[in-house]
Structure 1
């Protein structure tokens, strides 16, 4: 295992900072740009541009571990416009091959149909604020204001419903038809059936992020989060036996699925690590649990992060750990210092667990 930093559209300054922090591996997302586009849009990739982009990043002494595959609104579209969704799926399959041609071996994607739901910011240490979801306090207005939309953060409150959100196919639940449990699985199966064969042909691993957060039984605003439980993740993995069909295992998101994540998470981590289907980890912590939690610094949550490292070890996981969703503060608007803290904390845990010397060879 080793630290890896997840970055959105980094410039030279940001990549140099990563290397100075001791980062050697990165997970990149460039949604909303034309850096790798074939046509000037942001959906269809150009393999040569993608290769040039990878080589530019790796020119800083970094290895590109994972690149984001934006599936857009295909899941919702598959429920309302199947022919249009089939065209999108074909293009995504082509992008998987182009990624392989560009030397990229792993792509992550997200099956959110609506924004990553949050209900507000809670007071954190030293005046920082923690993004949270409290089902009992839910309102559509708070959802619009505080949820993670598109490629933004909760601190970017103006992004709700913006172009950035549309790039990722995320909308308010009231703007889309109801998504029953059956419809949710139908949409995900439609995507998996189209993308996994392309991934097998190209030799590219696909890392899926579970639904964030877990919704109450019966859903929220008519939307079911079917990959919002450990059983849902198990069912998702069972959709295909392919070794390329796996997870962006968001530890914080999975923790949100349990009333007592401090007790539940260690065996769950070991279970999924042992499947060999975790391709990257969002290494973050929460305080609270199912339907009532807040995202906190990694050292102050309910999950013992050192025990989590050891659980990944026991399960045989050797891939990247990416800090994710740190708190918000006007003192650190870009959250570079908060992420730096999380990176250093994670590196320290790896050293304590005796795996950092191995990490430096990856």
Structure 2
């Protein structure tokens, strides 16, 4: 198991040095939207070779290796099957995958949430001893108006599945040729619909179906534990079931259910984290893991969105490392 902690800064930071001091040398990046080249007549896109190359070099010059991109060009035209729009978006995704391959960036994380990405209805709930936590309550959006996409494009679950199949049939061969694995992130929150927009990546059965749409060693899963633990009461068995299809892990936890939950400090949620780690060790998982959505502790700094901060992530890295080493020792003694 290797850490690939997410980098959100657009220039070197003290936190990058702390990551190395903690033994974290691989990182997850977002698309470098700030990294266009002012000398170009036609502006470069963040998924073009130049910005990605400069971003990768900046990280490597500071002792970090970029192995994952957890971001995407606009994709709602693809998800919804919008004529003319989807063709341009498919071309942009293909360029991203091809350029990642040229630069040796191993994994692309994407999602199938149309219109509305990951969402919380509460951003600064006062948690234990004053830490701030985020949360979601479906009751807060029940009276919200339908999203414009519902009226404009008549979105259905069936249409989303059909468009996903077409997307995978197009992009998986490019991923195979480029040696880039693609890893679907679950709907967040994993509910059947969000303001009238259907969602399909919200159950264990949905991910089983995903893997059969196009069978390939390059078609896999981002196992975001905070979402998967809202889909099942037995997350360790899910880890064992998907085994080599898990390309990336988001290590976090929640309290509640998919319709009403809060995010917690690691070790204080609903998930059996010891059982989870035993499952990873048992299947020989040697992929990447990162911290995700930690509470904001006293005097900490939030990086643009609740759950992305410094102190909570540093604490969680230590927790995961200790848990992993303890479970490995159990297995070495014949657990």
1:175 Cα deviation (Å)?
Answer: 2.5
Count of residues paired in the alignment: 315
Out of 62, 65, 68, which is 2:67 matched to? 65
Of the structure 1 ranges 112-121 and 199-208, higher mean CA displacement relative to structure 2 is found in: 112-121
1:254 aligned partner: 228
Q: More deviation in 182-191 or 93-102?
A: 182-191
Distance 1:61 1:343 in 2: 18
Give, in angstroms, the shift of residue 138 of structure 1.
3.2
User: Which of residues 129, 134, 156 is equivalent to 1:131?
Assistant: 134
Quick check: 2:35–2:51 contact (8 Å CA) kept in 1? no
The whole-number CA distance in structure 1 between the counterparts of 2:220 and 2:111 is 12
**Counterpart in 2 of 1:289?**
257
Aligned-residue offset at 1:36: 8.2
**1:100 aligned partner:** 101
The TM-score with structure 1 as length reference comes to 0.79
Instruction: Say whether 1:321 aligns with 2:289.
Output: yes
Structure-1 residue corresponding to 2:82: 81
Q: CA-atom RMSD, angstroms?
A: 2.4
The TM-score, its normalising length taken from structure 2, stands at: 0.85
Q: How does 1:1-362 map to 2 (within 5 A)?
A: 1-13=1-13, 14-35=15-36, 39-46=42-49, 48-72=50-74, 74-76=75-77, 79=80, 81-113=82-114, 114-121=116-123, 122-139=125-142, 174-177=147-150, 178-216=154-192, 219-258=193-232, 261=233, 264-272=234-242, 274=243, 276-328=244-296, 331-334=299-302, 335-354=309-328
3-state secondary structure, aligned to 1:318? coil
**Distance in 2, Cα, partners of 1:195 & 1:339:** 33
Q: Shift of the alpha carbon at 1:53? A: 2.8
Q: Which structure ranks higher in relative contact order (CA pairs < 8 Å, sequence separation ≥ 6)? A: 1
Residue ranges of structure 1 left out of the alignment (5+ in a row): 142-171, 356-362
Q: Deviations over 1:278-326 (max 9, x none)?
A: 1110011111223221111111011121221111122232111211011
Distance 2:322 2:280 in 1: 16
Give me the whole-angstrom Cα distance separating, in 2, the residues matched to 1:6 and 1:236. 25
Report deviation, 1:29.
1.1
* 3-state SS of paired residue (2:84): helix
SS in 2 for 1:66: strand
Q: Mind listing any 5+ residue stretches in structure 2 that lack a counterpart?
A: 303-308, 330-335
> Which of 87-96 and 1-10 deviates more?
1-10
Partners of 2:147 and 2:180 in 1: how far apart?
A: 36
Q: Deviation above 6 Å: which 4+ runs of structure 1?
A: none
1:68-109, Cα deviation, whole Å (9 max, x unpaired): 34141x234553622221121022112211111112222222
